[in-house]
Amino acid sequence: MKLLLYFIIGLLSISSLLAQSVRETWPMYNGDPAHTSNARINMSFPLIVADDFSVFLNRESGTIVSEDKIFYSNTGDTNTINAIDLLTGDSLWTFIVPKSIGGIAFTPAVGHDVVLAGGQQASNLYGLDVNSGDVLWSSPIQSLYYRSPTIYDSLVYVASHLGLTCIDLITGETKWYHDVPTPQITPTVDSANVYYNAGGIIYAKDRKTGEDRWSNTTVSSGHGASYVLDEDYLYYGYEDTISALNKYTGDVLWQTNLDTNEVVFYSSMAALTDMFLIVKTQVTGLGKNQFRVLEKATGNIMNTYTGGNYTWSSPTIINNYMVDCGTNKILFMDMMTGDSIYALSGLGFGNYPTQVIAVKDKIIIAAQGHKIIILESMPSGIKNIEPDFHVEVFPNPASSETVLHLDLPKAMTIDLKVVSISGTVIKTEALNFLSQGKHTIPISLDGLSTGIYFIRLQNEQGVVTRKLVVR
């Protein structure tokens, strides 16, 4: 029965990967530019530490990456919003949030060259110039306790002790306002509506006018809940229940109860694929992450697995891998089964990374307390463009031997390396001057343990890498 379950999960996983296209760019949401916590970047294994910066980060605060800058909040003797250069780690500017009593507990947001700054007890939301940190405008919104503004196009949606406010990002002008009991979550927005909960009610309002769309009083809601959106449904996690609501009507498609005998968590946080909702919670007493794979159409739990150390951030899917952090290491797992694919250790951030961010060709780890770490693919030593020859590795997976199938448009010399997943070169071979045309080159796998390896082929034009699974 267990083997049958894994076989079904494997088929579903393959179907999902084949069907999954690169998603449109979603609005920035609570530190997650992808909105679905699902990103694709130009990355390949092995990874190396390209740089790290000594900064102070709070566990409760998120980090934003925009273009060539990193923005984060800081609670200390003064409560600040900070900007540093992504490439050098140099401080660009620091903004002291006025009257921010009791800390920040705030994730900045960025759009149209404006950085949004606020705080736990601050009386205003501030629009700052992205390059200088100068104040462009301020708007009275009161406390943003554990809530961050959400940007869509040129509008900002802010949940505070005043209620829900829509503000023009460029001018700071209030567009509309909804007086409700204190909204209990960072608002979520798409092209049509803004979604939030207050006073035990989930609301949807027209994002441009504030006009009521629907409200739902049947789904339990409160502080510490989390939302994630796809094309048709709003997925809502609160306490021990995940709910799927129709975005247009508020009707409940399904509700799934998670086993609270196994997990204790502040909120249920999720990431999306085309077919699945992956929910992250906390394993009781262990400080570890528990991941549950739910079928989006039904809410059925397809699989459960355990990852790295628990943090208050959404799960992160990068290039179809579930990415998580343990003590001083980053983990890449099969997002359906939790099987380990790749790990990079010795990163020196301790037990509690705050956030993992994917951007362009980099992975950024914002580590609680003291460090930002930037990871990149291991450089090849020459310009890494695809050479003009065709290559296939078959059989793959293989056990004792695999065969390299080359089709060369001209005569050339190629260097071959077999590299472990940790970056260690296992074997090197110079394929002497090869004539134009097709070649089959056997590669012995004697001495290689079961696992994932990479075959790297290099000529004067560039490097091509093929994944090899040894079983």
Percent of the chain with pLDDT over 90: 16
Phi/psi at 468 (5° precision): -130, 130
pLDDT band for 10, please (50, 70, 90 cuts): very low
Higher-pLDDT residue of 147 and 126 is 126
Q: What are the b/e assignments for 286-324, b being 16+ CB within 10 Å?
A: eebbbbbbbebeebebbbbbebbbbbbbbbbbbebbbbb
The 3-class SS string of 75-97 reads CCCCCEEEEEECCCCCEEEEEEC
Tell me how far apart the alpha carbons of residues 379 and 434 are, in angstroms, rounded to a whole number.
26
pLDDT band for 334, please (50, 70, 90 cuts): confident
Whether the per-residue pLDDT at 14 is higher than 60: the answer is no
Domains 2-376 and 390-470 in one fold:
no
**Domain 390-470 falls under CATH 1.10.10.10:** no
CATH superfamily, region 2-376: YVTN repeat-like/Quinoprotein amine dehydrogenase (2.130.10.10)
Is the pTM higher than 0.75? The answer reads: no
Tell me how far apart the alpha carbons of residues 334 and 401 are, in angstroms, rounded to a whole number.
25
Note the pLDDT tens digit of each residue in 136-190: 999 887 666 566 788 888 899 988 777 889 999 999 999 998 887 766 677 888 8
pLDDT band for 349, please (50, 70, 90 cuts): confident
Note the pLDDT tens digit of each residue in 398-441: 888 999 988 888 888 888 888 876 667 888 887 877 888 899 99
The pLDDT score that the predictor gives to residue 93 is 95
Note the pLDDT tens digit of each residue in 197-224: 888 889 999 999 999 999 999 988 766 6
The pLDDT score that the predictor gives to residue 18 is 29
Rounded to a whole number of angstroms, the CA Rg of the chain reads 24
Note the pLDDT tens digit of each residue in 239-263: 778 899 999 999 999 999 887 555 4
C-alpha distances out from residue 170 to 92, 137, 167, 431, Å: 22, 9, 9, 60
Q: Where are the domains of the chain?
A: 2-376, 390-470
Total length of the chain: 471
The pLDDT score that the predictor gives to residue 23 is 29
